Amino acid sequence: MKHAKAALDTPLLAIRDLRVSFPAPDGPVEVVHGVDLDVARREKVALVGESGSGKSVTARSVLRLDADARLSGRIELDGTDLLTLPPRRMRQVRGARVGLVFQDPLAALNPVMTIGWQIIQPLVIRGVSKRVARRRGVDLLSRLGVRDAERRFDDYPHEFSGGMRQRVVIAIAVIAEPELLIADEPTTALDVRVQAQVLALLRELADERGMSVLLITHDLGIVAGFADRVVVMRHGEAVETGPVDDIYARPRHPYTRALLAAVPRIGDDPARPLAVVDASGAPADGAHRREDGR
């Protein structure tokens, strides 16, 4: 019983002192600076920040997708440090244990292969027969809201709308039933109505399958109804973390307050200036402040 409880108490994903640098003409440039991050089993965590904050680089480091990146620290998946695994072992992690939903579904899909062929690849390369893989793929595509999934399974990416393509990318990411799903800005290219549908699908799939989710986004407006916990990144550092309700009600860091103040609200004055923080993260002079102090 003690071992079982310890396993449940151990985060599924534990990132410790992660540092990521890339080669540059004048020497390596560090873009992620000692980030710590946990995702518990069945937990949905949102990693939030502006473009260039390091959130996507942090997430991609879990799967070691950037060949030029130099990684240090620890990235543990269920106690195994992924940074120490040889390439063959790492390939076994991708797709099977950790799935990834890319930001741009059109760029993520092969334009000359049918969507069905692409959906079943995570199963086929692991020895599942094509007949069984197709049946599971069609069922999943239908579950994700694609009508006439049996026929559309043999269509090509350009024959789908942006929202439908994102459903295809989600199907590819979850068909092998990974323990952790990383969703990298999965709604950025979609209109507001489709954004809500895609997030609802991700939430339902996570709950049904017991998946943990790491959602990468710059938009705090979509986080409240999805995540259990929020990690805010700025300039390659995690500046604040906490339960989603606490982050919204009592944000501590000026940058978090600025992000929240930038979320549009019904009844806002269109001419209202956005909150501004200076390079240190402190409120800039003249920055807009909400009446509630946020």
Last residue of a domain, one of 161, 177, 193: 177
**Do 261 and 221 share a structural domain?**
no
Q: What are the phi and psi torsion angles at 223 (to 5°)?
A: -80, -35
Token couple for 143: 């579950």
Averaged pLDDT for residues 109-136: 96
Q: Does position 289 have pLDDT exceeding 50, yes or no?
A: no
pLDDT at 172: 96
Query: What's the domain range around 30?
Result: 1-97+179-243
Look at residue 138 in the predicted model and tell me its pLDDT: 97
Cβ contact 100:173 at 8 Å: yes
Per-residue confidence (pLDDT) for residue 283, from 0 to 100: 52
Is residue 126 pLDDT above 80, yes or no?
yes
* Whether 267 and 187 share a structural domain: no
Query: What angle, 0 to 180 degrees and rounded to 10, lies between the N-to-C axes of helices 162-174 and 115-124?
Result: 10
One-letter amino acid at 225 equals G
The reported pLDDT for the residue numbered 279 is 60
For residue 242 the two structure tokens come to 């906490």
- Extended strands (E) in 29-127: 29-39, 44-48, 70-77, 80-81, 98-101
- pLDDT at position 196, please? 86
Using the structure block, give the residue that is written with the tokens 């540059």. Answer: 24
pLDDT tens by residue, 23-36 = 999 999 999 999 99
Statement to judge: residues 90 and 228 lie in one domain: yes
Q: What percent of the chain has pLDDT over 90?
A: 69
Percent of the chain beyond pLDDT 70?
89
Average pLDDT over residues 68-86: 97
Q: What is the mean pLDDT of the chain?
A: 89
Q: What is the mean pLDDT of residues 35-50?
A: 96
What's phi and psi for 109, nearest 5 deg?
-100, 145
> In a 3-state reduction of DSSP, which class is residue 50?
coil
The CATH number given to whatever domain includes residue 27 is: 3.40.50.300
- Based on the domain organization, do 84 and 166 belong to the same domain? no
Report pLDDT digits (tens) over 169-204.
999 999 999 999 999 988 877 788 888 888 998 999
Are residues 123 and 203 located together in one domain of the fold? no
pLDDT surpasses 70 at 285: no
Domain termination site, one of 140, 156, 177: 177
| 216 — pLDDT class (breaks 50, 70, 90) | very high
Where residue 280 falls among pLDDT bands split at 50, 70, 90? low
Look-up of token digits 């003690």: 2
| Mean pLDDT, residues 118-128 taken together | 94
Do 68 and 189 share a domain, yes or no?
A: yes
Q: Does residue 2 register a pLDDT over 70?
A: no
DSSP 131: H
- Mean pLDDT confidence for 149-178: 94
Question: What is the pLDDT averaged over residues 30-46?
Answer: 97
- Using DSSP's 3-state secondary structure scheme, residue 29 falls into strand
Residue type, 289: R
What's the confidence (pLDDT) of residue 106?
86
pLDDT of 1: 46
Q: Considering only residues 30 and 270, tell me which one the structure prediction assigns the higher pLDDT.
A: 30
Distance CA 43, CA 212 (A): 5
Strand partners, 45: 214, 229
Model pLDDT for residues 225-250, shown as the tens digit of each residue: 899 999 999 999 999 999 999 999 99
Q: Which amino acid is at 104?
A: D
Residue 161, judged by CB atoms within 10 A of its CB (0-12, 13-18, 19+), counts as: exposed
Question: Does residue 223 share a domain with residue 170?
Answer: no
Shared domain for 2 and 89, answered yes or no, is: yes
Within this chain, do residues 1 and 92 fall inside the same structural domain, yes or no?
A: yes
Whether 192 and 203 share a structural domain: yes
Of the pLDDT bands very low, low, confident and very high (cuts 50, 70, 90), residue 251 is very high
Residues 19 and 148 in one domain: no
DSSP 277: B
Question: Same structural domain for residues 112 and 134?
Answer: yes
**Mean pLDDT throughout 35-41?**
98
Q: Structural domain tally of the chain?
A: 3
